[in-house]
Amino acid sequence: MSLHKSAVGDQKTSLAFMFTWLMARENQIDKYRRLYLDRGIDVLTNALTPVDVLRPRVRVRTNAQRIYDYFLSSCDSYQKVVVHAFSGGVYHYSEVVSIMYRNPAIFSQMKGRFKGAIYDSPADTDGIPSGVAQAYFLKRPIIRCAAQYFIKTYLNTIGRDVCPTMEEVRDTIFVPNPLNTPILLFYSPNDAILPPNSAKRYVDSWKASGVHFVAKKWEDTEHCKHYVKYPQEYEQILSQFLNTIGFNTKLIGNNLI
């Protein structure tokens, strides 16, 4: 967990709560941080490892509690919070919300500060084997296939509580959206880790429950690669969404959109 403070702007009352994908490199995440830092918005980044995903009750929930405690103690000055979560980071964030939700007094106090959530390629449990294997062995296809097999075996034996744990949080926090925040979803049917039926289920659930959301689908992008392939369009949609939820969308200094 790391807090990056923007060097521009006068009032530091806005925070982007960022939850990364598995094994995300610092130079990759920094491109997304700049989308907020250049707008005068501080960024709190939270990382997720493959081991966390394979042991969610021990690793993710412990880390979520640590993030929750830090947010309560050190982020009181931020009156506007936007969440930007990628892949398994969406589950990571949902665990933090779950802790808030179990504390009604804190939840009531915090709810008004969370203004919106951006979900970039939210992973589903069906994508765990390929997602974890890809994070470790992206450039080694033979080893990656073997790793997928062993992870599937693990999930069906020793780790058989992993998927139910994540699905419970997905069905009680992520989809119902208890913070009632507007949502921006980036996804693609070409994504091997987010099956098209899962994305459709999320969209249908939000639509049925009256959640304000925007869903942007690219037909040809890979998992968490939308910004890489379509940077201008990604930034434009993000800016429009930030404007909708009350954030200043203009880049400060010489970098105006």
Contacts of 93 (CB under 8 A, 6+ apart): 17, 19, 46, 83, 85, 117
* pLDDT band, residue 255 (cuts 50/70/90): very low
Asked whether residue 142 is assigned to any structural domain, the reply reads no
Asked whether residue 152 is assigned to any structural domain, the reply reads no
Rounded to the nearest integer, the mean pLDDT of the chain is: 84
Percentage of the chain surpassing pLDDT 90?
Answer: 42
Asked whether residue 255 is assigned to any structural domain, the reply reads no
Number of structural domains in the chain: 1
Does residue 256 surpass a pLDDT of 60? Answer: no
Contacts of 212 (CB under 8 A, 6+ apart): 182, 183
188: left (phi over 0), alpha (psi -120 to 50) or beta: beta
* pLDDT band, residue 254 (cuts 50/70/90): very low
Instruction: Write out pLDDT tens, residues 74-119.
Output: 888 898 999 999 988 998 999 999 999 999 988 988 888 999 999 9
Q: In what order do the strands lie in the sheet with 114-120?
A: 2-4, 42-46, 14-19, 80-86, 114-120, 183-187, 213-217
Asked whether residue 134 is assigned to any structural domain, the reply reads no
Asked whether residue 74 is assigned to any structural domain, the reply reads yes
Domain, as residue range, for 59: 2-124+164-244
Q: Tell me the C-alpha distance between 68 and 20, whole Å.
A: 16
User: What pLDDT is stored for residue 248 in this prediction?
Assistant: 66
Does residue 189 surpass a pLDDT of 60? Answer: yes
User: What pLDDT is stored for residue 49 in this prediction?
Assistant: 82
Contacts of 246 (CB under 8 A, 6+ apart): 80, 115
Mean pLDDT of 141-161: 70
> Does residue 192 or residue 20 have the better pLDDT?
20
- Whichever domain contains 232, its CATH number is 3.40.50.1820
Q: Are 19 and 89 in contact (CB under 8 A)?
A: yes
Instruction: Write out pLDDT tens, residues 38-75.
Output: 988 999 999 888 788 778 788 888 999 999 999 888 88
182 phi/psi in degrees, rounded to 5: -60, 150
User: What pLDDT is stored for residue 32 in this prediction?
Assistant: 96
Asked whether residue 233 is assigned to any structural domain, the reply reads yes
Count CB neighbours of 1 within 10 A.
Answer: 11
Asked whether residue 237 is assigned to any structural domain, the reply reads yes
Does residue 257 surpass a pLDDT of 50? Answer: no
> Does residue 167 or residue 10 have the better pLDDT?
167
User: What pLDDT is stored for residue 110 in this prediction?
Assistant: 86
Residue found by looking up tokens 């709810």 in the block = 111
